[in-house]
């Protein structure tokens, strides 16, 4: 798999069979986005589907979702987001239990775990690319109560690469719960947050320095970089 990191907590995962995007946003104000609409239209053409973790603007953007839908690509959104906008945009989730969706056309299985940022629905996607590896994306996971089941994710799901928001509530417990082979943090330096919540790259480095005993390597990338994972 090739895993591309994009602004802000966006990722594209490309296997030999499928190309899937998570939480792609242009960033910046509507009138002057950091990434132009035309680029997203082209990116949508190269992807097969997009999954949105939750409704916040640094993860969910209707223009990008419509670009995918316009090109016939499925968009999976959390409960309550963009209802009735386009038949290609589906709300799937997740009240209290995980759901599994076969994506036969992409030769993958999608598991949606019922996460939350505080009390906001935050779909955690576990994407099983069947033989090519599996990837989990945690969106803006934060809710304290969810840590009880996050502790046990590894008992049900095999996760090769964990795409983790760098300021998640208890980084150590979340990494232990998913037990990935490789950690790739995201959400550093979100430019629309004020400085105090911009989460610099050095903060991720400092946090990881305290967790060497977990023995999970962290691939720290910036926007536009990619990492290749081989099963
Ligand atoms: Zn959020
Ligand atoms: Zn966020």
Cα–ligand 2 centroid distance for 66 (angstroms): 20
Q: Which ligand is nearest to the CA of 59?
A: 2
Q: What is the pLDDT of residue 95?
A: 65
Q: Which ligand is nearest to the CA of 166?
A: 2
- Quick: pLDDT tens for 139-174: 999 999 999 999 999 999 999 999 999 999 999 999
- Quick: pLDDT tens for 12-46: 999 999 999 999 999 998 889 999 989 999 999 99
Contact present, 143 and 25 (Cβ < 8 Å): no
Q: Is pLDDT of 94 > 80?
A: no
3-state SS of the chain? CEEEEECCCEEEEECCCCEEEECCCCCCCCCCCCCCHHHHHHHHHHCCEEECCCCCCCCCCHHHHHHHHHCCCEEEECCCCCCCCCCCEEECCCCCCCEEEEEHHHCEEEEEEEEEECCEEEEEEEEECCCCCEEEECCCCCCCCCHHHHCCHHHHCCCCEEEEECCCCCHHHHHHHHCCCEEEEECCCCCCCCHHHCCCHHHHHHHHHCCHHHCCCECCCCCCCEEECCC
Cα–ligand 1 centroid distance for 140 (angstroms): 5
Cα–ligand 1 centroid distance for 98 (angstroms): 20
Cα–ligand 1 centroid distance for 141 (angstroms): 8
Q: For the residues 87-100, what does the mean pLDDT come to?
A: 84
Q: Which ligand is nearest to the CA of 115?
A: 1
Q: Is pLDDT of 195 > 90?
A: no
Q: For the residues 219-229, what does the mean pLDDT come to?
A: 97
Q: Is pLDDT of 1 > 80?
A: yes
Cα–ligand 1 centroid distance for 29 (angstroms): 17
Task: Please report the domains of the chain, with CATH numbers, ordered by start residue.
Answer: 2-221 (3.60.15.10)
Percent of the chain with pLDDT over 70: 99
Cis peptide before 8 (omega within 30 of 0): yes
Q: For the residues 91-119, what does the mean pLDDT come to?
A: 89
Cα–ligand 2 centroid distance for 8 (angstroms): 8
Q: For the residues 57-62, what does the mean pLDDT come to?
A: 96
């Amino acid at each position: 798999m090739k895993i591309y990191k994009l602004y802000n907590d966006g990722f594209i995962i490309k296997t030999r069979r499928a190309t899937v995007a998570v939480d792609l946003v242009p960033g910046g104000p509507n009138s002057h986005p950091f990434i132009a609409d035309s680029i997203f239209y082209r990116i949508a053409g190269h992807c097969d589907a997009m999954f949105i973790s939750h409704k916040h603007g640094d993860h969910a953007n209707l223009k990008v979702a419509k670009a995918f839908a316009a090109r016939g690509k499925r968009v999976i959104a959390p409960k309550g987001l963009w209802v009735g906008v386009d038949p290609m945009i589906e709300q799937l989730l997740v009240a209290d239990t995980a759901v599994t969706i076969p994506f036969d056309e992409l030769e993958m299985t999608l598991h949606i775990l019922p996460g939350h940022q505080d009390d906001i629905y935050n779909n955690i996607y576990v994407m099983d690319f069947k033989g090519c590896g599996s990837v989990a994306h945690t969106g803006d996971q934060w809710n304290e109560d969810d840590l009880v089941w996050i502790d046990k994710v590894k008992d049900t799901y095999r996760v090769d690469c964990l795409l983790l928001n760098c300021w998640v509530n208890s980084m150590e417990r979340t990494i232990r719960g998913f037990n990935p082979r490789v950690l790739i943090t995201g959400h550093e330096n979100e430019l629309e947050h004020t400085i105090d919540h911009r989460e610099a790259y050095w903060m991720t480095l400092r946090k990881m320095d305290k967790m060497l005993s977990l023995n999970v390597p962290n691939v720290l990338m910036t926007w536009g970089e990619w990492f290749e994972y081989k099963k």
